[in-house]
Amino acid sequence: MELKNTLTEENFRKELNASILRGKKEQSTSKINEELLSLYPDFKSAITLDWIPEEGENIYTILIDQNLVVKIEISKNPNAKSILIESMDIKTYHYKLKKLQKLKLKVALDIALSIH
C-alpha cells in the first residue's frame, strides 16, 4: 500500500505527530514515556497508534521505533504499576488490522522512518 497524500492520510499524520515520544530525549515526564523507557530503555521514538480510555486505566497501542508494536495498560492510579499486555512485530500486527488501520500504520511507519 502506497501513501498518496490523501486527506485521510494527512489527518492521521497530524494525529500521529502529536503523539510522538522520543525516549530519553523527551522533555516531558509523562507516565507513558517513563513506562516505555523502563521496558525499552534504548527506544528512540514511540508513536501512539490507538488509545482506549477505561475507568481505572488507559490502554495504548504504540509503535516503538520502526519494528515493534506494544499494547500497554497505564493505570490512572499513580501508585499502580503499568502492565505490558502484548508485544508483536510489525508483520504480526499488520495482519490483524482492517484497511483503515493498515493505512494509519503505514503513515506511522513513514513518520518513524523520517525520525530515524
**Alpha helices (runs of H) in the chain, residue ranges in sequence order:** 7-18, 31-39, 90-96, 99-115
pLDDT in the model for residue 26: 65
Q: Band of the pLDDT at 116, cuts 50, 70, 90?
A: confident
Whether the pLDDT of residue 13 is over 90: the answer is yes
Domain regions of the chain by residue span = 7-115
The grid coordinates listed for 108 are 506511522
Amino acid present at 2: E
Residue 29 has pLDDT above 80, yes or no: no
